[in-house]
Structure 1
């Protein structure tokens, strides 16, 4: 019973957590639209490969990580900078068509699995996300981590991340195909603004979190 509960809760948290639009989903959408679902699958394998280790270590050290305020501040700072860097990179690529296409061709020469590992490896937002969630689930005793039970929880989270991202990317591609001209006009503006908005949100969250420190 505890095994099923761990898998179910892990799946639910990670599935819902992976649905909001983020840069990993946008990268997956680009790979899917340019090189098909099989490369998307390998990209997601790379993402969940990194995610497995992140979830495992934040599960083991959740209480210690949440108490390390200095480390959390550094993670939050890198998260903010990373959002603005992504906005700038996407803006340059979309507004230099020839360079963008050349960049994309070179980009797709690499293994989608390796791309997934690299992009998720610099995904600083997942550390506070999983640390907070794992600490909450442990404190409320929604999951059990003694002996091999933690591996069932991790398995549930990995499945949830994969299916959540895959579902969103396929859905977005279907929407953009039906509104192709609209997406051509909107995406070059929307994606950089989206990352700028995420960076601003992170600034406000960080200010609210640390203003009393």
Structure 2
């Protein structure tokens, strides 16, 4: 029970943070459609590898910044800049892919793996997110900042993120024949999502300073 609680907490936290349509899960679906399931899985593996380190570092940060909300706000400001840049790129510069029926573009697994690491690394949301989650759990005595507990929580987070990302791959694989509209508007969808995240982050920043 000592390890089951942080494992389940990490899994649930990752599932909640990953299940809304976002850059990683939408890109995983995009790769599944264009390049096949294997490359999409390599993308997911690369992404969750970075999530492992993000969650681990976040929990270590939580030890220090439990009473320093200004540091959390700084992380939000960095995240706002990143999401704003991604929004501008996907809405105004990225070219929308053209859907091709029964045709898959073959790319190396290594390329998909490193793309997953890159996009996951550009996403600063997990760090403040897992900081807040771990501090909240600790306040209810459901989590302690001990190394075995931390690693168990992080493992649960990785499993939760992998499970949700894999679900996106499997879901879009079943409707592959009906994804023409989705493919034509992929960059607009991703850009809109990152834009909404940027706005939500900006709202939190303004609320901290003026709320």
Give TM class, smaller chain.
Answer: 0.7 to 0.9
Greater shift, 180-189 or 125-134, is seen at 180-189
Taking structure 2 as the reference length, the TM-score comes to: 0.82
Counterpart in the other structure of 2:38: 38
Counterpart in the other structure of 1:196: 195
RMSD: 2.7
1:80 equivalent in alignment to 2:80: yes
Change (3 A) 1:170 1:86: farther
Aligned residues: 204
Counterpart in the other structure of 1:93: 94
1:8 equivalent in alignment to 2:16: no
- Report the alpha carbon displacement of residue 69 of structure 1 after superposing the two structures with TM: 4.4
Aligned partner of residue 192 in structure 1, secondary structure:
helix
Counterpart in the other structure of 1:101: none
Aligned partner of residue 58 in structure 1, secondary structure:
helix
Change (3 A) 1:120 1:87: same
Counterpart in the other structure of 2:179: 180
Change (3 A) 1:200 1:113: same
1:26 equivalent in alignment to 2:26: yes
* 8 Å CA contact 1:79, 1:125 repeated in 2: yes
Change (3 A) 1:127 1:107: farther
* 8 Å CA contact 1:8, 1:156 repeated in 2: yes
* 8 Å CA contact 2:96, 2:183 repeated in 1: no
Aligned partner of residue 61 in structure 1, secondary structure:
helix
Structure 2 segments unaligned to the other structure (5+ residues) = 99-104
Measure the CA separation in 1 of the matches of 2:141 and 2:203.
Answer: 31
1:141 equivalent in alignment to 2:141: yes
- Report the alpha carbon displacement of residue 190 of structure 1 after superposing the two structures with TM: 3.0
Higher helix share goes to which structure?
A: 1
Change (3 A) 1:137 1:174: same
Measure the CA separation in 1 of the matches of 2:31 and 2:183.
Answer: 16
Counterpart in the other structure of 1:47: 47
Counterpart in the other structure of 1:163: 163
Structure 1 segments unaligned to the other structure (5+ residues) = 98-104
Measure the CA separation in 1 of the matches of 2:72 and 2:162.
Answer: 26
Which digits, 9 at most, give the CA deviation of each residue in 1:6-59, with x for residues without a partner?
A: 222221111222111111112212222222222222212211211112222222
Q: Which runs of 4+ in 1 moved over 4 A?
A: 105-110
- Report the alpha carbon displacement of residue 131 of structure 1 after superposing the two structures with TM: 0.5
* 8 Å CA contact 1:2, 1:144 repeated in 2: no
Measure the CA separation in 2 of the matches of 1:94 and 1:172.
Answer: 21
Greater shift, 38-47 or 138-147, is seen at 138-147
